[in-house]
Amino acid sequence: SSTGYSTGRVFNQLTEALLQTETGSMTPAEIEQVFAALPVDVTFVDAGNKVRFFSRPRERIFPRSSAIIGRSVENCHPPQSVDRVLEIIQAFRDGRHQQASFWIRLRGRLILIQYFAVRDKHGGYMGTLEVSQDITDWQQLEGERRLISWKDT
């Protein structure tokens, strides 16, 4: 039917459209792959405390399923940490803090977990970004390794 064709064409235009910002533009596919390339887990919780987005990096630290989209953040954390998570979010919402950092040992690795307040251009609270990364190998760094020393071996 012409409705199906029209809907399909509009969908294709949306998926190929560029997200235009002050700092550039990317397609949705490019955005998705940029997040996948980052060596971090990223989860965004909106101002209503609902999970709205998570990345799918090549090596995810904390498993995520699409079923968490739309779920309340308090249903995504172990019971013993829910109160702390909600306290952090409230401190972000009130403007008392902009970030919170924690680190844990998990399966023999050192994991850095950071929460960041996400704000609009006027300082209004938009949500919380959770970023988790394995920093075990960082502990071995000494001195410098400069770009000029890179070799394709």
Distance in angstroms (rounded) separating the CA atoms of residues 16 and 29: 8
Q: Say which residue, 74 or 10, is predicted with more confidence.
A: 74
Q: 118 — phi, psi (to 5°)?
A: -105, 125
- Side-chain-facing half-sphere of 89: CA atoms under 13 Å: 22
Instruction: Specify if 67 maps to a domain.
Output: yes
CATH of the domain at 58: 3.30.450.20
Residue 9 lies in a domain: no
Domains contained in the chain, number:
1
Residue 107 lies in a domain: yes
Give a yes or no: residue 81 inside a domain: yes
Within a domain: 93? yes
Task: Quote the pLDDT of residue 10.
Answer: 53
Q: How far apart are CA 138 and CA 110, in angstroms?
A: 9
Domain around 72: 29-138
Task: Give the confidence band of 11 by pLDDT, cuts at 50, 70, 90.
Answer: low
pLDDT at 132: 96
49-88 pLDDT, tens digit each: 999 999 998 888 988 889 999 999 998 888 899 999 999 9
116 falls in which pLDDT band (50, 70, 90)?
very high
35: in domain? yes
What pTM did the predictor assign? 0.82
Residue 45 belongs to a domain: yes
